[in-house]
């Protein structure tokens, strides 16, 4: 595979100049990546999304340049921290490891080759630490600058939140070019007892993007993690959320909107691990597909033996605006406790023609009537957002990119 040779050459070049304590961690992860290899659609976890399509590409490691935007507190360019606010404790990964602000365990090798690959390359990513008992809103800009050549980038953001803190994060992924590119990103959240995090993620990919994304969340007692994410499908987009509710009373709320048209592909996999009693989760994902696009939703709720009094809800809903669009949806429940309330479901349909007729009878054009109905359809996903500015930004992005039907 061409891409493996290029990645290995980049790794050998970068590790040769590395003399810090990240060297052993990086080497161990890269060796594990090579051992597992790039998955194929023959593997169940990748059944409908085949990342091996990148095997003949010649991606090289993307270089980082400075980028300015005063609206953002933190800017990361091609995986490198280039701007930070003085109001928060922020460092790159190499510096945070040296200062013992994060543990080596966060970079332990896994059975996911793309997490291992990110672990091997992401020394210049961003570590943000929030103290106990604070309220804070921040904006993060994740820039992918692929204006010059085909490239691979490894963005990494690590967020640690102290006890009883309330944090709102708006993260925007922005592309500066349209060259063929691979983005392999990982984001870690660690929530201490009683903390609350609202994470709004806006991914607008360039047309020639292959993206593999992993968002990993660990929650302690009585913490709440609320995720609102928007993605538009491109050549291949795969987004995994793995949430671990590790202590009593933890709650997570996963909400997402995905849009795809033409021949684009987008895949969401979610896993919520209910590991202790009295934990709750609520999951709602909605998709709008047109053209010959394909989408995948695979959501799994795993209730462990100790997780009595679990209350978990999962729903996936899809609108198909063309006869050629395809959705593969697979909600799953895996339950090992006997005192729980768990529900899941999936729907696939089209816009209600009676509703469109009702609006047209009142002088509204068909195209505008369709947009009004889709806006209402999406509105449910965003209804719980507390950050009003972020909500308006997210809704505007979604409305502007809703695909047209056949």
Tens of pLDDT, residue by residue over 240-260, are: 999 999 999 999 999 999 999
Contact in structure between 176 and 203 (CB atoms under 8 Å):
no
- Please name every residue paired with 299 in a beta bridge, in sequence order, or none if there are none: 270, 331
pTM for this prediction: 0.94
Two tokens, residue 28: 């161990």
Cα 95 from Cα 90, distance rounded (Å): 10
Q: Can you give the pLDDT of all 406 residues of the chain as single tens digits?
A: 677 888 888 888 888 776 676 788 889 999 999 999 998 888 888 999 988 888 777 788 877 777 888 899 999 999 999 988 888 889 888 888 877 778 878 899 999 999 999 999 988 889 999 999 999 999 999 999 888 778 899 999 999 999 999 999 999 998 888 888 899 999 999 999 999 999 999 987 778 889 999 999 999 999 999 999 998 877 889 999 999 999 999 999 999 999 999 999 999 999 999 999 999 999 999 999 999 999 999 999 999 999 999 999 999 999 999 999 999 999 999 999 999 999 999 999 988 888 888 888 888 888 888 888 888 888 899 988 998 888 888 888 888 888 876 6
Nearest to 244 by CA among 216, 280, 285: 216
HSE-CB for 114 with a 13 A CA cutoff? 28
For Cα atoms 118, 184, 299, give the angle at the middle one, nearest 5 degrees. 105
Report the distance separating Cα 183 and Cα 144, nearest Å: 8
pLDDT number for residue 167: 97
Helices (H) and strands (E) in the chain, counts: 7, 21
Question: Which bin fits 37, alpha (ψ -120 to 50), beta or left (φ > 0)?
Answer: left
Please write the tens of the pLDDT for every residue from 31-62.
Answer: 999 999 998 888 888 999 988 888 777 788 87
């Amino acid at each position: 595979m061409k891409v493996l040779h290029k990645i290995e050459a980049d790794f050998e070049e970068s590790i040769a100049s590395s003399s810090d304590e990240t060297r052993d961690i990086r080497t161990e992860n890269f060796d594990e990546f090579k051992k597992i290899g790039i998955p194929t659609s023959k593997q169940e976890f990748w059944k409908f999304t085949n990342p091996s399509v990148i095997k003949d590409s010649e991606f090289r490691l993307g270089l980082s340049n400075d980028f300015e935007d005063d609206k953002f507190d933190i800017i990361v360019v091609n995986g490198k921290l280039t701007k930070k606010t003085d109001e928060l404790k922020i460092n790159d990964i190499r510096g945070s490891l040296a200062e013992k602000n994060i543990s080596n365990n966060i970079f332990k090798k896994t059975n996911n080759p793309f997490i291992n690959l990110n672990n091997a390359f992401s020394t210049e990513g961003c570590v943000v630490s929030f103290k106990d008992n604070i309220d804070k809103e921040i904006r993060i800009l994740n820039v992918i600058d692929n204006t010059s050549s085909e490239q691979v980038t490894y963005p990494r953001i690590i967020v640690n939140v102290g006890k009883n803190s309330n944090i709102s994060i708006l993260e925007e992924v922005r592309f500066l070019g349209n060259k063929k590119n691979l983005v392999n990103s990982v984001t870690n959240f660690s929530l201490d007892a009683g903390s609350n995090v609202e994470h709004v993620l806006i991914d607008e990919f360039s047309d020639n993007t292959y993206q593999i994304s992993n968002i990993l969340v660990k929650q302690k007692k009585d913490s709440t993690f609320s995720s609102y994410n928007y993605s538009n499908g491109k050549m291949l987009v795969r987004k995994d959320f793995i949430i671990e509710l590790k202590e009593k009373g933890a709650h997570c709320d996963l909400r997402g909107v995905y849009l795809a048209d033409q021949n684009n592909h987008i895949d969401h996999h979610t896993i919520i691990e209910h590991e202790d009693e009295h934990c709750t989760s609520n999951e709602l994902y909605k998709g709008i597909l047109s053209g010959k696009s394909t989408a995948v939703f695979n959501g799994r709720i795993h209730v462990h033996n100790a997780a009595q009094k679990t209350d978990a809800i999962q729903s996936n809903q899809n609108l198909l605006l063309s006869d050629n669009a395809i959705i593969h949806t697979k909600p799953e429940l895996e339950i090992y406790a006997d005192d729980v309330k768990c529900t899941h479901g999936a729907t696939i349909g089209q816009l209600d023609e009676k509703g469109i007729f009702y609006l047209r009878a009142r002088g509204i054009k068909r195209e505008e009537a369709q947009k009004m109905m889709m806006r209402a359809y999406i509105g449910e996903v965003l209804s719980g957002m507390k950050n009003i500015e972020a909500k308006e930004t997210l809704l505007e992005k979604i409305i502007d990119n809703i695909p047209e039907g056949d």
